[in-house]
A = this chain, B = another copy of it.
Amino acid sequence: MSKQELPVVATTGCCGPTLTTPLSADTAAELAAAFKALSDPVRLRLLSLIASRPGEEVCVCELTPQFEQSQPTISHHLKVLREAGLIDCERRGTWVYYWVIPEALQRLSTVLIPGVAAPAGASA
């Protein structure tokens, strides 16, 4: 591990690390796992369907008909999003209801804010 002497993880006030300072190996591993949950088109669409109803829960019975995939496949993708901490759910009676965790999405959004200018010598 001697080569992994990166600068200490950057934290900018309340908003956590951003890409404007090198990420520690631990933070990078944690964030990469969350981004992996977003690396599938079906999961991204599921997340957007849930996030598009601000302040509401969305029944799995409304999500599944939007996709060609089977109900177990959709449930698996929802589980991946939930395990990544991006959504949460509650079972009530027959159905499971989902909602996004805005803080988690906000954190991933913030970490990508580049805050960098174009390199001066990059035009050649």
Contacts and interface: CB of A to CB of B under 8 A. Distances in A.
Interface of A: 1, 3-6, 10, 19-23, 25, 28-29, 31-33, 35-36, 38-45, 47-49, 51-57, 65-68, 88, 90, 97, 99-100, 102, 105-106, 108-110, 112-122, 124
Contact of A116 (B23, B55, B113, B121): B55
Given A25-B45, A106-B112, 15 more contacts: A3-B66, A19-B51, A19-B105, A20-B52, A28-B42, A28-B44, A35-B39, A51-B116, A54-B117, A55-B118, A102-B115, A102-B117, A105-B112, A105-B114, A109-B113
Contacts of A119: 55-57, 99
